Amino acid sequence: MANKRVLFIEHDHVSLGGPVWEQFKNRGYEIVRFLIVAEEHYNTPNVTVIWPNVLEFDAVVVMGAPWGVWEDERIGNWLLPELALVREVHNSGIPILGICFGGQLMARALGGSVARAPQYELGWHSIESDDPSLIAQGPWFQYHYDRWQLPPDAIEVARTKLSSQSFICGRTLALQFHPEIDPTVLDAWLDMEGGCVDFEEAGVDIHALRDETKRQMPASNQRAYDLVDQFLDRIATSPIHRV
């Protein structure tokens, strides 16, 4: 029997999966990566995309991005088609895990909205979870300046004082935080020009952040493994929801 396949939709060239990749592989999934904006187009991201047949996959993971889910004019060439595409995937019953931009994308695709938040969340933060067996309280890594308003049929699972952190809608699990972070992923982000929040302009001590990420890695990796397991065992087997 062929392995199951999971499609990782990567919006930029530094969308590494870290422990999320690792646990999908541990669960017998073949990782298929699809890049939208190549490094040479980073400053001109409104590219035209030829999408794969996403309905051929057993699960889809929608990754983060340095752009906003509300920036139709800036990235509309692929943003608007992606919104329609993930809605179709959701309605077909294929499980979707949305991470940061990917979670915001699912919020908008399923009838919610996304806008700039009053301030950013950056670094390691604990969250308030209604279901710690599904979404642990963390700490989880935050790297965002936007936040969603929940879709009508969504069940919020976790939050901080600033923003909703996770919701379930059918076989979709949306996350605002980054379970994929590890020192390698963080280094790639720090090497990237710009981003959704500039670390140094935000007054972040880069050396301390790297040290904290290394210190967190054993426990944060395990939290990511557990989250992937819960997604596959609980969310992916939920009743199909359609919008």
Q: Residue 10 belongs to what H/E stretch?
A: strand 4-10
Of the candidates 10, 82, 121, 180, the residue annotated as catalytic is 180
Q: Does 178 participate in catalysis according to the annotation?
A: yes
* Contact assessment for residue 120 and residue 130, using Cβ atoms and an 8 Å cutoff: no
Largest CA distance in the chain: 52
Q: Does 100 participate in catalysis according to the annotation?
A: yes
**Cα–Cα nearest to 8, from 38, 27, 34:** 34
Of the candidates 82, 100, 121, 144, the residue annotated as catalytic is 100
* Contact assessment for residue 169 and residue 156, using Cβ atoms and an 8 Å cutoff: no
Rg (CA), the chain: 16
Strand-pairing partners, residue 8, are 33, 61
Q: Does 212 participate in catalysis according to the annotation?
A: no
Strand-pairing partners, residue 178, are 141
Dig out the tokens for 66 from the structure: 């340095």
Of the candidates 11, 90, 144, 178, the residue annotated as catalytic is 178
Q: List the catalytic residues.
A: 100, 178, 180
